[in-house]
Chains A and B, each alone.
Chain A
Amino acid sequence: MWLTRPLQERSTQIFLGVLFSAVVLVTFLHLFMPQDSALHVSAFTVTLLGKYLCYALLAVAVDLVWGYLGILSLGHGAFFALGGYAMGMYLMRQIGDRGVYGDPILPDFMVFLNWQELPWFWHGFDMAWFAFIMVLLAPGLLALVFGFLAFRSRVTGVYLSIITQALTFALMLAFFRNEMGFGGNNGLTDFKDILGFNLRTDATRLGLFIATGIALAIGYVICRGIVTSKLGRVSVACRDAEARTRFLGYRVERVQLFVFVVSAMLAGVAGALYVPQVGIINPSEFSPLFSIEIVVWVALGGRATLYGAVIGAILVNYAKTVFTGIMPDAWLFALGGLFVLVTVFLPKGIAGLLQKRRKAREDDDTPTAQEATV
């Protein structure tokens, strides 16, 4: 089975072990440490960590297409945001008549815009199962259509990057419009509860954090399963020599399309878990800057390693939290510098550094193996 194979890998076991113990540790510290203890993890921190884990899952999704397929997507924020919007619509419908205007069916912003009835695409989102399917379907369908058009006509490399950026830019402009029916500029917010649990309570927040941890673990295993399968090896071949792979008889565009769609769905799930934790989804998630930021998380962590993407996402976002707290002006300098430094001096990221060190240790053990390393 392609999904169980990664579980036997040492690297996956280590990753899942670390993730599991981290989630358990945070849960323990949150629940059983007294409030005034230095070791207590507040509900705020739990939500913050949950947010990081969402970003980590998103980074894994980007690493899957960039690291193993060679497609630098500058539009993955769009899939993330679509998943988020699907979840946001479900949460909006859950508000019911507790909104400011008290309309049992229409969300507040529609009442505000004087709309008489629910637009057709809002139907069904009052049911959780439907919304959760849409979390996968909406980004998946967009990726399918977009990828089909792009890969069929062999748009690759820089062109594809720029088109993905244009895609997310166009979506951002579209979602900013009030007429689209997604709350325009303000987006969707003021959520009350999810699956009957109040979003304001600490228990729900912890539950969401744990759910995000589980989603990250599953997502990681799925990606690992793909990249260690035969499909994964073909996709690496596409990355390194697309034309040659095609001449060998592989349907390159199908491989690309499949991996791209899976990645988009994972990004959608990340977005869906992100929204209830931060409590808002608005068109700024579509901004090209956010999408390209994801790429730098992956680049910092180390491309084509998956676990590197997780490290990068958490590190950069932790740095962002710290920087924007102490000196907000410096953050863009730091982020910009990170882009330059990583690409020029650290092309393989942190994971590359780790591997190099391990390799050096092995070389010490076996001095005869003089392998030329870059």
Chain B
Amino acid sequence: MSICRSLTLLLIALFSLLSLPATAQEDDPGKALLINLAEAPASKVEEAVNAIVSSGDERARGWLEAYGNNRLSRVKDTGQVVLVLNNRGRDWEIADPLTGENMGEMSRRELARVAINNRIRGQLEGILAMLDLNAKDPDVREASAQDMMGKVDASLVEPLEAQLAKEEDAAVRNRIEEALAIYRVGEGNLEAVDVLAGSLHPRARAALNEAVRGDNEALAQRAARALESIEQKLQLNRAAETLYFGLSLGSVLVLAAIGLAITFGVMGVINMAHGELIMLGAYTTWGMQQLFPGQPGLALILSIPAGFIVAATAGIIIERSVIQYLKGRPLETLLATFGISLILQQLVRTVISPQNRTVVTPDWMSGSLVINDALSLTLNRLYVLAFALIVFAGLMLIMRKTRLGLEVRAVTQNRAMARSMGIRATRVDIMTFALGSGVAGLAGVALSQLTNVGPNLGQNYIIDSFMVVVFGGVGNLWGTLIAGLSLGTINQLLEPWAGAVLAKIIVLVFIILFIQKRPKGLFPQKGRAAEG
């Protein structure tokens, strides 16, 4: 009889391939499978479940889940199998399991629950996981194998081994092996310990810890050794993670400071409104996303030139309206630009809102790059890190290889001489300031992906940026890069044992002391340029 049924099932499956799967037709194989499950006597339930599993039907997962949750019922009159969506009260909301179509409400008296026994229920979780192990997408397979770690029991060993034999994806194989090894370590298998020694998954460590505590001495020793090697790897990973966060923080500092390195370092202009130019860049990103709703990625890419232009324009206005009149009076410039920063902040508060604005992170920037179980790198930080390096490289090219860069360096070294050589120093001033401000705008675009965009955004970065520039050595772009990255890393190294605030204080104090030792920063300018 069972051969007969299998044959009919096969036939039905073949037919179903020809028909559209979404439409519920009389010859939908699912229907037969479900009725088979609903009508099966207790001894045949397992068989019926297995039939559903091996059918490869995409809806099988939903059915079995509902079955496990007592949500699978039969309509007493028609014998039709339905999904119970809501089983509160007298009338239950039901749906067609084949199409997912809502069938309205039905009195619970007219429904009979499809019976399930505890043994099946216990296996169901594993069965569901097995179902995912057969999925087409290797990521789903890997996730389900990872899910199984620590949940494998005797009944699953055989199917898992079978799965392992036919699995081709290395990562999934690895997971399945680990899942099996966890079970085998529990059973006292020594070789399995070595398999787990390579794993960083917390479940593997839990299994090994249990083995260390267990009675089996040989196993305990071996497990302890394995744990040791895991611990070493973990420490390495933690160090890598700290380094990554440090570099990420550092890249933010570099981005924020590099514009300042140009206006302060090259031009000698203290621009306390630099932070607010960063803020303008961040708000430009927000504005672009309002212009292109639903396309955060496009808006973000367009914000890069837009943020540059907005901030550069603001910079030119500041330079023309205020800074040019304060040439040679650095302290006054500092005060005036501080005033400008207050005005810009208040402007944003009044015109837009005192509240933070949300900037959407596009899909391709969210999520993280998973290296292994203990280490995953968030993508947005990775992008910002890369962006900072690109901006830096671009600036280096401009300063070293272009006409503008040449003129800027000439004016910086000797203004009078440069002018007498025919360089229009005023124009160079404007261009330099615009460049520095534009880079601040770029920093804002990047920062909008990491922090809140609000009127105080710039204020939080201005002191840090100055510290980076001063620490790196004024007038030295390389110094700024190295100073930014190293300060970020130092900050992250200190954070675990000092806390975020104290770490920041320690870094500030460190810089203050460092300036005592080397007043001109890490990489002081040499020669005549140093006198200016």
Contacts and interface: CB of A to CB of B under 8 A. Distances in A.
Interface of A: 72, 146, 149-150, 152-155, 157-159, 161-163, 165-167, 169-170, 173-174, 176-177, 288, 292, 295-296, 299, 329, 332-333, 335-340, 342-344, 347
Given A162-B466, A336-B341, A340-B340, A177 B515 contact: no
Contacts of A288: 463
Given A158-B270, A336-B342, A343-B326, A299 B335 contact: yes
Interface stretch (B239-247, B379-387, B504-512): B504-512
- Which of A72, A155, A163 has most B Cβ within 10 Å? A163
Contacts of A146: 512
Interface stretch (B3-11, B57-65, B178-186, B344-352): B344-352
Contacts of A159: 470, 515, 519
A154 B515 CA distance: 10
Contacts of B466: 162, 165-166
Contact of B517 (A153, A329, A347): A153
Interface of B: 270, 322, 325-326, 329-336, 338-343, 345-347, 349-350, 463, 466-467, 470, 501-502, 504-505, 508-509, 511-513, 515-517, 519
A152 B342 contact: no
B505 A332 contact: no
Contacts of A163: 470, 512, 515
A187 B339 CA distance: 28
Given A161-B334, A166-B463, A329-B349, A173 B501 contact: yes
A333 B335 CA distance: 14
A240 B98 CA distance: 90
Contacts of B345: 332
Judged by DSSP, the binding face of B is helix
A146 B513 CA distance: 9
B341, B342, B470, B508 pick with most chain A CB within 10 angstroms: B342
Contact of B516 (A149, A174, A329, A343): A149
B346 A343 contact: no
B505 A170 contact: yes
A176 B499 CA distance: 13
B339 A169 contact: no
Nearest to B323: A344
A336 B334 contact: no
B339 A338 contact: yes
Main secondary structure of the interface of A (DSSP, over half): helix
A153 B519 CA distance: 7
23 contacts: A152-B516, A153-B519, A158-B330, A166-B466, A166-B508, A167-B508, A170-B505, A174-B505, A177-B501, A292-B335, A329-B346, A332-B345, A335-B339, A336-B339, A336-B341, A339-B335, A339-B339, A339-B340, A340-B322, A340-B340, A340-B343, A343-B322, A343-B326
Contact of A344 (B325, B343, B346): B325
Nearest to B333: A343
B516 A155 contact: yes
B216 to A, nearest CB: 46
A161 B346 contact: no
Contacts of B325: 344
B495 to A, nearest CB: 14
Contacts of A150: 515-516
A165 B515 CA distance: 14
A153 B343 contact: no
Most buried by B among A146, A149, A339, A344: A339
Contacts of B516: 149-150, 152-153, 155
Given A152-B516, A332-B343, A335-B342, A157 B504 contact: no
A150 B470 CA distance: 14
A170 to B, nearest CB: 4
A149 B519 CA distance: 11
A98 to B, nearest CB: 32
Given A157-B331, A169-B463, A176-B501, A336 B340 contact: yes
Interface centre among A157, A159, A343, A344 (most CB of B within 10 A): A343
Nearest to B349: A329
Contact of A161 (B331, B340, B342, B513): B331
Contact of A340 (B331, B336, B501): B336
A173 B508 CA distance: 11
Given A333-B343, A336-B341, A343 B336 contact: yes
Given A146-B512, A165-B466, 6 more contacts: A149-B516, A162-B466, A165-B463, A167-B508, A335-B342, A343-B332
Given A332-B346, A333-B346, A335-B339, A158 B334 contact: yes
Contacts of A335: 339, 342
B501 A339 contact: no
B342 A157 contact: no
Contact of B338 (A149, A152, A169, A339): A339
Given A163-B512, A166-B512, A343-B326, A154 B346 contact: no
Contacts of A157: 330-331
A152 B340 CA distance: 34
A339 B511 contact: no
Nearest to A156: B519
A79 B81 CA distance: 80
Contacts of A154: 519
Contacts of B347: 333
Contacts of B517: 153
A213 B183 CA distance: 82
Nearest to A333: B346
A166 B467 CA distance: 8
B332 A162 contact: no
A155 B505 CA distance: 20
Q: Which of A332, A333, A337 has the most CB of B within 10 A?
A: A332
Contacts of B519: 153-155, 159
A220 B516 CA distance: 32
A335 B346 CA distance: 11
Nearest to A146: B512
Nearest to B344: A336
A155 B339 CA distance: 25
A336 B504 CA distance: 28
A339 B270 contact: no
B120 to A, nearest CB: 54
Contacts of A344: 322, 325-326, 336
Contacts of B329: 343, 347
A158 B332 CA distance: 10
Contacts of A169: 463, 508
Instruction: Give the most central of A72, A335, A344: most B CB within 10 Å.
Output: A344
The 8 closest A-B pairs by CB, nearest first: A339-B339, A336-B342, A336-B343, A332-B346, A170-B508, A336-B339, A343-B336, A343-B332
B509 to A, nearest CB: 6
B262 to A, nearest CB: 16
Contacts of B501: 173-174, 176-177
A200 to B, nearest CB: 34
